[in-house]
Amino acid sequence: MAQFSWHMPRWFHQMGSPKWFYNFGGLLQPWFALAAVALLTCGMVWGLAFAPADYQQGNSFRIMYVHVPSAILSQSIFLSMAIAGAIGLIWKMKIAFMVARSCIAIGATFTLIALVTGAIWGKPTWGAYWVWDARLTSTLVLLFLYAGVMALNQAISERQIAGKATAILAIVGTINIPIIKYSVEWWNTLHQSSSFSLTEKPSMPAEMYLPLLLTVLGSYFLFGLVVLIRTRSQILQTQNGASWLLQHKDIYGAK
Amino acid sequence: MIRFISAIIRRDLLLVARQPAEMINPLVFFVLVVALFPLGVSPEASLLSQTAAGVIWVAAMLATLLSLELLFKLDHDDGSLEQLLLAPYPSWTLVLAKVFVHWLVSGLPLILISPLIAMMLFLPSEAVPTLMLSLLLGTPTLSLLGAIGAALVTGVRGGGMLLTLLILPLYVPVIIFGASSVAAAAQGMPVDGYMALLAAMFVFALMITPWAAGSALKL
C-alpha cells in the first residue's frame, strides 16, 4: 500500500517564524488599515445617512450597521481563536498561540458591542432593553465564554502553558457553541431569523444590504488589523534583543 | 489498562472513605442552597412548585462545581498526579477513572436525596421519577465537562473561582434540558425527547472530555 504523505505548504511553516510573521505582518498591516477605514467609512456613511428608512422601524433600524457586523464577528473571532489554538497545539507553533491570545479581547469587545447595540435597538422595537430570547441568551453565553478564556489566559503566567490551556478551552467552547445555540433556540425564541446570508437572495432592498455588506467586510479587516498589531507587539515582547530585530532601526532607534 | 483504571478507582474510593467530609460537604451545600430559595423568594407552595425544577438543577450544578475543584488538586499538590501521568497508559484513562469516582461521590448522593428536596419544594410527585432520571443522565455530563476545567486550573492560584467562570457557560445546554424535562413532567407532558438529548450529551461528553482534560493535565 502506498504510504499517504501530505505536507503543509511551505508558507504555512514560515508563518511559525517570528521574524517572518513580523515582517510579513508589517507589510500587510497598512493594507488592512486602508481596507478597514475605506469599507467602514463608506458602509457607515451610506447606511447611516443615505439608505432608505425602514417602513416599519423608521430610522432605528440603522443601528443594524453596527449591530450585525459585531454579532457576526463575535462568532467568527471565537472560531478563529479556536483554529489558531488548534494549529498551535498540532504544529507546536508559538505564533499561533499569540494570534489566539490577540483574538480574545477584540472578540469580547465585538460581543459586548453586539449586546449593547441590540439592547438599544430592542427598547423602541420590542419595548424592552433585554428579553430572554434565544439569540440574546446565546450571545450572552458567548460573552461568558470569552470571559472564561480571558481569565484563564491571564491566570497562568507562563506564556507557553497559558497558550496551550487557552487553546484547549477555546476548542471545547467552539464545539459547545452550536449545542448552546440550538438548546437555547429550543428553549425560547423571539428574535427574527437572520436576514443576511451569502447564499440566499437577501430579504431587504439592495440599498439597505449593500452598506451592511461593506461594514461586515470592513469589520473583518479591522479584526485582521488589530490581530496583526497585537500579535506583532507580542513578538516584540518575547523576541526582545533577537539579532533579526536589532536590524529594525525603527524599533531600536538610529544610533 | 482496565487494571490501571480499577486501581485508581479503588485508591480514590479509599481516600474518600477515610475523609468522608469530601462526600458529605457537597450534599449539605446542595440542601442548603435549595433551602435558601423559599427563604429568599417565597414559601408559597404554588410558586415553589413552579420553580422547583430549575432550583434543584442550579443547586446540583453548583454543588458539582464546588466539589470539582479538588478533582486533581490534592493529587497535584502531593505530587502523585505527576507519577500517575508517567504511567504507561493514556492520560484519558486517568481522567475517566477520576471522573467516575467524582460522580459516585458527589453526583449519586444528589440523585438519591433529590426526592426529599422535591417534596420540600412541592414538586408534583409524578415529576419525581423524571427528576431522578434527568439527574442520572445529566450529572455525569456535569462531572465530565467539569473535569476539563479542573484539569486546566490545576496548579493555578485561586483556581476555584476560575473553574466556575470556565465551566458554567458550558453547562447551559444541560441545565436547559434537565430543568425543562422536569417542568414538562410536572405538566404531564412526554419527556422522551429531553431524555434522549440528555443521553446524547452524556455520550458526546464521554467521547470528547477525557481527551481534552487529559491533554490539559499534561501541560
Cell of B42: 417565597
B201 shares contact with chain A (CB less than 8 Å) = yes
Q: How far is CA B115 from the centre of its chain?
A: 17
Structural domain boundaries, residue A152: 62-192+205-237
Structural domain boundaries, residue B183: 2-217
Least CB-CB distance to B216: which of A155, A165, A187?
A: A165
Query: Which residues does chain A have within 8 Å of residue B164's beta carbon, measured at their own beta carbons?
Result: none
Taking residues A196-222, report their average pLDDT.
79
Cα of B158 to nearest chain A Cα, Å? 9
Q: How far is CA B12 from the centre of its chain?
A: 17
Is the CB of B152 less than 8 angstroms away from the CB of A168?
Answer: yes
Total domains in chain A come to 1
Task: Say which residue, B92 or A9, is predicted with more confidence.
Answer: B92
Taking residues B121-135, report their average pLDDT.
92
Angle at B118 between CA B116 and CA B123, to 5 degrees: 145
Is the CB of B169 less than 8 angstroms away from the CB of A172?
Answer: no
Residue A28 domain flag:
no
Query: Which residues does chain B have within 8 Å of residue A169's beta carbon, measured at their own beta carbons?
Result: 148, 152, 166
Residue A180: closest C-alpha in chain B: B173
Residue (of A150, A136, A149, A148) closest to A180 by Cα position: A136
Total domains in chain B come to 1
Its ipTM equals: 0.89
Is the CB of A171 less than 8 angstroms away from the CB of B152?
Answer: no
Cα of B166 to nearest chain A Cα, Å? 5
Distance CA B187, CA B181 (A): 10
Q: Which residues contact B164 (CB under 8 A, 6 or more apart)?
A: B65
Residue A30 domain flag:
no
Residue A226 domain flag:
yes
pTM (predicted TM-score) = 0.89
Of chain B, the percentage scoring pLDDT greater than 90 comes to 54
Alpha-carbon distances, residue B141 vs A248, B5, B53, B100, B209 (angstroms): 53, 19, 18, 11, 9
Taking residues A233-239, report their average pLDDT.
89
Cα of B214 to nearest chain A Cα, Å? 11
Q: Which of B172, B198, B217 to mutate to test the interface with A (most CBs of A within 10 A)?
A: B172
Taking residues B73-92, report their average pLDDT.
88
Is the CB of A148 less than 8 angstroms away from the CB of B177?
Answer: no
Is the CB of A168 less than 8 angstroms away from the CB of B173?
Answer: no
Residue A11 domain flag:
no
Residue A14 domain flag:
no
Per residue in B31-52, pLDDT (tens digit) is: 999 999 889 888 888 888 888 9
Distance CA A200, CA A99 (A): 32
Q: How far is CA B4 from the centre of its chain?
A: 24
Cell of A232: 506583532
Residue A229 domain flag:
yes
Is the CB of A161 less than 8 angstroms away from the CB of B170?
Answer: no
Residue A182 domain flag:
yes
- Structure confidence at residue A84 as a pLDDT band (50, 70, 90): very high
Per residue in A155-198, pLDDT (tens digit) is: 988 888 999 999 999 999 998 888 888 888 777 654 555 555 55
Residue A215 domain flag:
yes
